[in-house]
Chain A
């Protein structure tokens, strides 16, 4: 080949390379343009719910306390997040509320709400709003001048929304929301004697023999349900564990059936392989639906769904690993007069165990995540708690708590399986 011909050929190759290098990003771009219109991303701005987003974010790091006065009978109640479980007992109140004939709520920064037949709200820099709820609606008087934007007043309803909190007055009730940072009642609910104690005081009580009671109050916290959450996490891990190892135990013998060098019978091999394809192709989602019809919701259903899907995946992987075993070791074992079962035990198993174990442990980690997802569909474990908390659309602090726990659980599982993998596989190599 002459130099010019080589040069020409090289240039053709170069230009082709350049074309593909340019074409690939263009194709990707064209696809994203298509997706932009197919998914109506331009219309996302209209669909986005800013109010929802704001509640979600503020709920994750703060909580609100409802202070409510029934305007018909004067009944007065204080409850965290307005929930029965977080209600203060009659006669008790957080330190920013002063009880009495005319209870006073100090919202901080000079914002003071006084309850009673006549409700007043001192707003710093504006003045005092006086409102009198009654049969004919809410009679409100405002300081002279224009009414600012953060106040909305009508005949039946006055709402004042300041940075310090929110006051709503209607004919039937007067309600104040005060926002505070943190997750209130995380350790103990208000009915527990340990609520509000510092760690040192708690430690002191624990040492003096109340450790069991303290733990009991924490564990049965009705607001955060730590005991139930722990059970849910355990259920999720259980699903992953049972599904993964159950699948591995079932897939191992089937893997031999699908491996070329162990099953000379073509039809048997074909059947085993198609079964693996079927189990994997039907997928966890459909298995979950089918199984939950038979077994009802719960961790067993989730475990079996993982087991079925992974039997397919493991079967395929194991058979591939088995096809790659070294025949010499088996020959060596055979030459000592070993029976078939012994040949498998000492010729094959030691070769494939490290490969299989490492695959199983990878799956164990990823199945922890799958178990969360399957739990959300089939109703078991932490996935169920998460979907329930999201469905209420207000317990976002709990959603955050569950998400943190899920992430920690998956990460712990990741490092655990990594540690076990290193330990077992390196240990095996060291032993030879």
Chain B
């Protein structure tokens, strides 16, 4: 660079044009930044205007409700273990909704992911349409399906399970197919050469290669689905979310039960997050003392 610029008679010209370019880029960045900040501030103002209570009016009250809940929880702290036992079945239902829908979604998503991976798909003409189906499943928020299903099936865990499972199919189907694309095709070709059927090729040739990634993604999804399951309970699909809404609507003086549910939910989410992150680490990086086994 220096050698060429040394012999270049236009060195000053190049330097000038470079500096001009850098300056204009800096200006451009500044303009974009100002635009972005303006959008953000304007957006907050609009949101505040359309809110029932304004930001600055509400800010001093943010801690009122948590303070009420905590005060009541402390005041009647001796009741908390009893409440936790009382709401444990609901919590198990919430976790079951998440687990069943993750398992169901992962199984169907796994099958669909193989159907939409180029090179592995048994019916190549189906790849495009099935991908659109996955996009669609991913785009519909769980709550939409859950609310419609609650209208048809009544409340309870089944609408929530179906709604979350459908979304999981879309999400995991896409992630799994990205994983499949990185799988080596050599085992598949080997199996094909000995006359294995499509399902045998997939089951023995592809899935063993990518199973750790599958499990890792499925665990991540399980974390997300526990949250979704609690939220859907809140709109009437059973589980701990439903109890939370009921205890909340009893109002002041009953917040100790809400506190117990908050605590249960918080602990569950944190524990599941931690466990799944330990498992995922182990899957992606291997055991510290792992021996190579067959």
Chain A partners chain B: yes
Contacts of B93 in A (CB 8 A): 38
* CB-CB under 8 A for A47 and B148, given A281-B273, A298-B50, A407-B136: no
* CB-CB under 8 A for A295 and B52, given A31-B100, A49-B154, A245-B40: yes
| Binary contact readout B143-174 vs A (1 if CB under 8 angstroms, 0 otherwise) | 11001100111101110010000000000000
* CB-CB under 8 A for A411 and B139, given A290-B66, A303-B47, A390-B147: yes
Q: Is the CB of B227 within 8 A of A411?
A: no
Q: How far is the CB of B187 from the nearest CB of chain A, in Å?
A: 15
Q: Does A341 contact B (CB under 8 A)?
A: no
Q: Does B81 contact A (CB under 8 A)?
A: no
**What is the bound-complex CA distance between A295 and B52, given in angstroms?**
7
Contacts of B161 in A (CB 8 A): 35, 39
Q: Does B288 contact A (CB under 8 A)?
A: no
**What is the bound-complex CA distance between A329 and B148, given in angstroms?**
54
Contacts of A13 in B (CB 8 A): 293-294
For chain A, the bracket of interface size reads 35 or more
Contacts of A370 in B (CB 8 A): 141
Q: Which residue among A10, A41, A295 has the maximum number of chain B CB atoms within 10 Å of its CB?
A: A295
Q: Is the CB of B234 within 8 A of A44?
A: no
Q: Which of B6-14, B53-61, B71-79, B123-131 touches A? A: B53-61
**What is the bound-complex CA distance between A298 and B46, given in angstroms?**
11
* CB-CB under 8 A for A31 and B265, given A295-B58, A407-B139: no
| Binary contact readout B88-107 vs A (1 if CB under 8 angstroms, 0 otherwise) | 00000100100110011001
**What is the bound-complex CA distance between A387 and B51, given in angstroms?**
18
The closest CB in chain A to the CB of B161 belongs to: A39
**What is the bound-complex CA distance between A40 and B269, given in angstroms?**
26
B151 touches which one: A38, A56, A303 (CB < 8 A)? Answer: A56
Q: Is the CB of B139 within 8 A of A300?
A: no
* CB-CB under 8 A for A283 and B265, given A295-B58, A296-B53, A372-B141: yes
Q: Is the CB of B235 within 8 A of A377?
A: yes
A47 touches which one: B53, B147, B156 (CB < 8 A)? Answer: B156
**What is the bound-complex CA distance between A411 and B141, given in angstroms?**
11
Q: Does B34 contact A (CB under 8 A)?
A: no
Q: Does A233 contact B (CB under 8 A)?
A: no
Q: Which of A159-167, A179-187, A208-216, A236-244 touches B? A: A236-244
Q: Is the CB of B144 within 8 A of A403?
A: yes
Contacts of B270 in A (CB 8 A): 277, 281
Q: How far is the CB of B229 from the nearest CB of chain A, in Å?
A: 10
Q: Does A380 contact B (CB under 8 A)?
A: yes
Contacts of B152 in A (CB 8 A): 48-49, 52-53, 56
Q: Does A410 contact B (CB under 8 A)?
A: yes
B227 touches which one: A47, A285, A289, A380 (CB < 8 A)? Answer: A285
**What is the bound-complex CA distance between A293 and B143, given in angstroms?**
22
Q: Is the CB of A386 within 8 A of B227?
A: no
Q: How far is the CB of B260 from the nearest CB of chain A, in Å?
A: 13
The closest CB in chain B to the CB of A369 belongs to: B141
Q: Is the CB of B153 within 8 A of A47?
A: yes
Q: How far is the CB of B146 from the nearest CB of chain A, in Å?
A: 10
| Binary contact readout A396-424 vs B (1 if CB under 8 angstroms, 0 otherwise) | 00010001001100110010000000000
Q: Does B122 contact A (CB under 8 A)?
A: no
Q: Is the CB of B58 within 8 A of A373?
A: no
Q: Is the CB of A238 within 8 A of B47?
A: yes
Q: How far is the CB of A41 from the nearest CB of chain B, in Å?
A: 6
Contacts of A44 in B (CB 8 A): 153, 158
Q: Does B112 contact A (CB under 8 A)?
A: no
Residue tally, chain B, CB below 8 Å to A: 62
Q: Is the CB of A297 within 8 A of B51?
A: yes
Q: How far is the CB of A431 from the nearest CB of chain B, in Å?
A: 9
Q: How far is the CB of B169 from the nearest CB of chain A, in Å?
A: 15
Q: Is the CB of A410 within 8 A of B139?
A: yes
Contacts of A282 in B (CB 8 A): 262, 266
Q: Does A99 contact B (CB under 8 A)?
A: no
* CB-CB under 8 A for A376 and B61, given A52-B152, A299-B50, A411-B139: no
Q: How far is the CB of A272 from the nearest CB of chain B, in Å?
A: 16
Q: Is the CB of B241 within 8 A of A294?
A: no
Q: Does A142 contact B (CB under 8 A)?
A: no
Q: Is the CB of A286 within 8 A of B43?
A: no
Contacts of A293 in B (CB 8 A): 61, 64-65
Q: How far is the CB of A293 from the nearest CB of chain B, in Å?
A: 4
**What is the bound-complex CA distance between A289 and B255, given in angstroms?**
13
Contacts of B269 in A (CB 8 A): 280-281, 283
Q: Does B181 contact A (CB under 8 A)?
A: no
Q: Does A246 contact B (CB under 8 A)?
A: yes
Contacts of A285 in B (CB 8 A): 227, 230-231, 234, 241, 244, 265
| Binary contact readout A17-61 vs B (1 if CB under 8 angstroms, 0 otherwise) | 100000000001001100100111100100111001100100000
Q: Is the CB of A39 within 8 A of B51?
A: no
Contacts of B153 in A (CB 8 A): 44, 47-49
| Chain B interface residues (CB < 8 Å from chain A) | 36, 39-40, 43-44, 46-48, 50-55, 58-59, 61-62, 64-66, 93, 96, 99-100, 103-104, 107, 135-136, 139-144, 147-148, 151-154, 156-158, 161, 227, 230-231, 234-235, 241, 244, 248, 262, 265-266, 269-270, 273, 293-294
A13-B294, A300-B47 known, 11 other contacts, Cβ within 8 Å:
A38-B157, A39-B96, A39-B156, A39-B161, A56-B152, A295-B52, A380-B51, A383-B143, A386-B144, A386-B147, A387-B147
List 10 A-B residue pairs with CB atoms under 8 Å apart, sorted by A's residue number.
A13-B293, A239-B47, A245-B36, A246-B44, A285-B227, A290-B65, A294-B62, A295-B52, A299-B50, A300-B50
Q: Which 7 A-B pairs have the closest CB atoms?
A: A296-B52, A298-B51, A296-B53, A295-B58, A300-B51, A293-B65, A13-B294
